[in-house]
A and B are shown apart, each in its own frame.
Chain A
Amino acid sequence: MPAARLEVAGLSAGYGPTQIVQNITFDVPAGGRLAILGRNGVGKTTLLATLMGLSTRHAGSVRIGDVELTRRRTSARALAGVGYVPQSRDVFASLTVEENLATGLKGRSRAALAEAYEMFPRLGERRRHLGGQLSGGEQQMLSMARTMLGQPSLLLLDEPLEGLAPVICDELMSMITRLAGSGDVTVVLVEQQIERALDFADRVLILERGREVWSGAPDALRADRALIERLLGVGIH
């Protein structure tokens, strides 16, 4: 599937009656890279979960390309081209690496598994290991590789670097940058490592208490250290 434009309009959502994200509107052009930033608990993960149909939508709409996703189930969104790599690293613990990858083929032949091993050679070395036996970094690679085997047009990444060693973070970010650089997929990244997120994105959206409080180019945010300190509670070098 080619990269698709993501359009989110007036989206309010949460869990049950509790509203967590409120009236969010943004769009990402096909092949674009959006970083969603904010302090802990501001609704970044809920926003991605809502795009994937995993939370309760209260208002608003979501569309990728020409496809209206708003009322679609999670599996239908995945089939429509949304790839989601959640914070929890959704590998199947009782399946081997190869079996985990095979579940993401979506009708493609098993020969396509070579793409995953090319993307992350480490997975090739671990192909007979169970998903539950992998390290955090390897599980993240597996989760991402499996999602990419489905050839998504939109990739949602929820804190892919959380809890990983710096060397693994470098490896993963370099792969994510390469994927996004190919122009075959639109990427929305939620990340706590601000500098890495700013290096990656071509546009930034900042949330506070479930609302959009700032959006713009990464360089504009970099230039305003006071804003970063105020909205994200961190300093950058």
Chain B
Amino acid sequence: MAGLSTLAKTSDRAFPFAAELMGVLSIAALGMLGFLLFPDDLAFLTRLIGITLLVLSLDLVTGYCGVATLGHAALFGVSAYAVGNACIGGIREPILLLGVGIIAGTIMGAISGALITRFRGLPQLVLSIAIGQLVAALANKLSSVTGGSDGLSGITPDPVLGLFRFDMYSRTAFTFSLIVLAVVFVLLLRFVRSPFGLLCRGIRDDDLRAQMIGATVYPRLVIMYAVSGAVAGVGGALNAMTAGVVGLDSVSFERSAEVLVMLVLGGAGNLWGALFGSVVFQIFEHIVSATNPFHWMTLVGLLLIAIVLFAPRGLSHGVAVLWPKIFKRGGRA
């Protein structure tokens, strides 16, 4: 995984198509590894994929545009509720439901972005929390739409392409989610390398410089937020379809904070970092919480402190720095 991440990071800039191929191969390899390591827990891996899409979505605005947000779960949760309601209302085709999630996420992203990106620094962060809390409060109050604290249940999508039924072992859910993740990841690799994506990174570096070469900052950030909403919407849709229920946790502050931690852990401003951070954090949390149910939060906290101390720019950057040194040492030996 580390090797793939490093290789991909290098090739990402040198050989664009190699990066995309590497993306598909890495996700396929991770999926196969997950299938072998957790054959009886594919539901966990499926949930992991949904959250990974949310982390990738957060990376677009936080890592690539420098927007501080602690309310990103709102985009994910609103899409999940929209998909849940659509499914209960009669739209059961999984691909169509993905479309519903994308539309809901895009709209929510555009609205959030239009408000949040008007500000900078602490006001921006506070506004993002306020939007997240507002959505969470609405989700709790509008129980006729969201199921309130009981959650929205009864989400039973049709078989994928009319052929593959969502089974109780989550094989279909996992495979479907993995394919969707691979497609979204490749599209995002291409998107962040486009002049639009590059200018967003330029805005993060110095928005005045970006304006001097003709970039309009605010509309660009709102568009990026809408794209981020679409990606979060895919995650929310998968979550609703594969779990069959949408709970208040999907719009919670804890979810927003957790995905930010995963992004920082992996390395913000790098899609590979977001992927890496999400997978490592969730698997670590899953294993530790199962083996030590009383102190697992302490262990997760210690992991985060270690990462911040020894790899402050995230695991992906740490690996990218260490890999050539290890490789060189190995070569000499």
Q: Which residues of A contact B (CB under 8 A)?
A: 52, 54, 73-75, 78-79, 84, 86, 90, 92-96, 98-99, 102-106, 128, 146-147, 150
Shortest beta-carbon contacts, A-B, top 9: A78-B214, A90-B209, A74-B211, A75-B211, A92-B205, A92-B202, A79-B214, A75-B216, A103-B198
Complex CA gap A54/B211 in Å reads 10
Complex CA gap A92/B202 in Å reads 6
Question: In angstroms, how far is the closest chain A Cβ from the Cβ of B327?
Answer: 19
What would 20 A/B residue contacts be, using CB atoms closer than 8 Å? A54-B208, A54-B212, A73-B216, A75-B210, A75-B211, A75-B214, A75-B216, A75-B217, A78-B214, A90-B206, A90-B209, A92-B201, A92-B205, A94-B201, A94-B269, A96-B13, A99-B13, A103-B213, A104-B213, A147-B213
Question: In angstroms, how far is the closest chain A Cβ from the Cβ of B184?
Answer: 22
Question: In angstroms, how far is the closest chain B Cβ from the Cβ of A66?
Answer: 19
Complex CA gap A228/B14 in Å reads 51
User: Nearest residue in B to A84 (C-beta to C-beta)?
Assistant: B212
B201 & A150 in contact (Cβ 8 Å cutoff): no
CB-defined contacts of B199 to chain A, threshold 8 Å: 103
CB-defined contacts of A84 to chain B, threshold 8 Å: 212
A86 & B212 in contact (Cβ 8 Å cutoff): yes
The proximity string for B residues 132-159 relative to A, scoring 1 for CB distances below 8 Å and 0 otherwise, is 0000000000000000000000000000
Complex CA gap A106/B214 in Å reads 8
Complex CA gap A84/B205 in Å reads 18
Q: Taking A96-B13, A128-B13 as contacts, is the C-beta distance between A90 and B212 under 8 angstroms?
A: yes
CB-defined contacts of A52 to chain B, threshold 8 Å: 212
Residue in A52, A90, A93 with the greatest tally of chain B CB atoms within 10 Å: A90
A105 & B195 in contact (Cβ 8 Å cutoff): yes
A78 & B198 in contact (Cβ 8 Å cutoff): no
Complex CA gap A106/B211 in Å reads 12
Residue in A92, A95, A146, A150 with the greatest tally of chain B CB atoms within 10 Å: A92
B213 & A78 in contact (Cβ 8 Å cutoff): yes
Q: Does B27 contact A (CB under 8 A)?
A: no
B213 & A146 in contact (Cβ 8 Å cutoff): yes
Other-chain contact of A93, B195, B205, B210, B214 (Cβ < 8 Å): B205
Complex CA gap A92/B214 in Å reads 14
Q: Does B182 contact A (CB under 8 A)?
A: no
Question: In angstroms, how far is the closest chain A Cβ from the Cβ of B228?
Answer: 19
CB-defined contacts of B215 to chain A, threshold 8 Å: 75, 103
CB-defined contacts of B209 to chain A, threshold 8 Å: 90, 92
The proximity string for B residues 259-270 relative to A, scoring 1 for CB distances below 8 Å and 0 otherwise, is 000000000010
Secondary structure of the A contact surface, majority rule: loop
Secondary structure of the B contact surface, majority rule: helix
Residue in A52, A86, A94, A103 with the greatest tally of chain B CB atoms within 10 Å: A103
CB-defined contacts of A147 to chain B, threshold 8 Å: 213
Other-chain contact of B195, A73, A74, A102 (Cβ < 8 Å): A102
A95 & B214 in contact (Cβ 8 Å cutoff): no
User: Nearest residue in B to A146 (C-beta to C-beta)?
Assistant: B213
B205 & A94 in contact (Cβ 8 Å cutoff): yes
Complex CA gap A117/B21 in Å reads 28
CB-defined contacts of B269 to chain A, threshold 8 Å: 94
Complex CA gap A102/B208 in Å reads 17
Complex CA gap A224/B250 in Å reads 77
Complex CA gap A106/B213 in Å reads 8
Complex CA gap A146/B14 in Å reads 20
CB-defined contacts of B198 to chain A, threshold 8 Å: 95, 99, 102-103
Complex CA gap A79/B199 in Å reads 14
Complex CA gap A175/B110 in Å reads 44
Given A75-B217, A92-B205, A147-B213, 18 new contacts (CB under 8 A): A54-B208, A73-B216, A74-B208, A74-B211, A75-B211, A75-B214, A75-B216, A92-B202, A94-B204, A94-B269, A95-B201, A95-B202, A98-B13, A103-B210, A103-B215, A106-B213, A128-B13, A150-B213
CB-defined contacts of B213 to chain A, threshold 8 Å: 78, 90, 103-104, 106, 146-147, 150
CB-defined contacts of A146 to chain B, threshold 8 Å: 213
B211 & A78 in contact (Cβ 8 Å cutoff): yes
A78 & B212 in contact (Cβ 8 Å cutoff): yes
Give residues 176-215 of B contacting A (CB, 8 Å): 193, 195, 198-199, 201-202, 204-206, 208-215
Complex CA gap A98/B15 in Å reads 13
CB-defined contacts of B204 to chain A, threshold 8 Å: 94
User: Nearest residue in B to A105 (C-beta to C-beta)?
Assistant: B195
